[in-house]
Structures are given as structure tokens and as C-alpha cells.
Chain A
Amino acid sequence: MIALTSEPIDVTSALYELQSAQAGAIDIFLGVVRDNTQQRPVDRLEYEAYDRMAIGEMQKIADDANQRWPLLRCLIIHRKGTLQIGEIAVLIGVATAHRADAFEACRYIIDTIKQTVPIWKKEIFMDGEIWVNAHP
């Protein structure tokens, strides 16, 4: 399942969706808002998405992961809007028969999301703001 949401991400319900009788391993990766970037204190993050394309690109990543690893379940949920310190920005969940596939697939999915999915985050500092990765 792929989702882009303005609501807080619920880890417990994600876990329920990932469970299956054949799954010997479930990996859940959470990307969480940190309180600093290179020691500069962060107040909050603002996420913006090109919704239609972001969902399409996340679906492609899930499809690729399904081709490469024997996934029983795959979940990608990305948040948008304003997020405070400690909130979950992204949840990746995979269920597989064995743990090696779960670890590898989970890592592949989050690493690829960061490269291709049209979602942008602005870091709001106490004394300014910056679109992450935007400048040389």
C-alpha cells in the first residue's frame, strides 16, 4: 500500500497491515524529524509533494522491490505538511519469510525514495529557513 497523508502516521495499524502467517520477518523503517541539522537547531519541517507523481514514483519503487525480493507485504506512507520534532515523516514496512530480504528491501525503498520521489522538505530554523538539497 502506498499513501501520502497529512495525518500523523500510525505505526500500530501499519504493523497490523504487515502481519501475515507466512512472514517470518517484518522490518519497519521510520524517518523521524530531528532537532538539528549539523548542530543548527531545527524548529520544524515543512513537507510539500507533487501528489500525483509522488504516489506514482513510490508505487514504482514498491513494484521494483517486489521484483527484486520476495515480499509478502509492502507499505510506504509519507507525510506532508508541517511536522514537529519527533514526528514520523515516512514509514517503510516490508514483510518477508526471512530477515535478510526484509532488511535489504527496506533499505532499498527508503534510499530510492530520497532520490526520485517529488517531495520537498524545508527546514525551519530559529533564525531562518532552507529547502533541503536545493542549492549547490
Chain B
Amino acid sequence: MNSTVSVLLFGITRDLTGQSTVSVSLPANARVAELLNQLHQNYPALASIRSLLVAVNGEYAEADQLVHQNDEIALIPPVSGG
């Protein structure tokens, strides 16, 4: 059964999609890598970005980390603070 997660977008990812939050439908027990694949399918323009990481509940997540429906998920394009 699929579940829907919402993903926070910042910087260039927000500009490319025109949205600050997007919903993604994922199979049960999906991992970060699957979320990224699905996002790339839904928004092909993301391919122009140098690298994309995912944060789960405010922490950088590994590709094999499980994604849960109530997690706070964010897409992290290359940072450029300072």
C-alpha cells in the first residue's frame, strides 16, 4: 500500500518546482533512495542540480534510511551559507 509523504523544498529546488512543499507517493517501507528517485521522476528539472541530499527530522539521512509518513522530510540542494 502506498503512502504519501510531504517534502520541504528550499533554494533552487523550490525555484525549479515552483513549490515550497511537494507530496510524493511511496510504497510502504520506502527508503531515502526511492524517495529521491520518485522526486526525480516527478520533477525532471531536478537533474540540473549538482547534488541532492535528504534530511529526515532535521538530520542528514543515508540512502538506505526508512522514510515514514510522519517524518519531517526535506530536500537539501548544495548548501552555500557563509
Contacts and interface: CB of A to CB of B under 8 A. Distances in A.
Given A78-B81, A120-B77, 6 more contacts: A48-B10, A52-B58, A56-B59, A116-B60, A133-B80, A136-B50
Interface stretch (A5-13, A18-26, A96-104, A107-115): A107-115
Interface size class of B (residues with CB under 8 A): 20 to 34
Contact of B10 (A31, A50, A116, A136): A50
Contacts of A110: 82
Interface string B38-82: 000000000011100001001110000000000000101111111
Contacts of B59: 53, 56
B81 A90 contact: yes
Interface size class of A (residues with CB under 8 A): 20 to 34
Interface of B: 8, 10-12, 15, 48-50, 55, 58-60, 74, 76-82
Secondary structure of the A side of the interface?
mixed
Q: Rank and list the top 3 A-B pairs by shortest CB-CB distance, nearest first.
A: A119-B81, A120-B11, A132-B80
13 contacts: A47-B81, A48-B10, A49-B10, A50-B55, A54-B81, A114-B81, A117-B79, A118-B81, A120-B11, A121-B80, A131-B80, A134-B80, A136-B50
Interface of A: 31, 47-50, 52-54, 56, 78, 89-90, 110, 113-122, 131-136
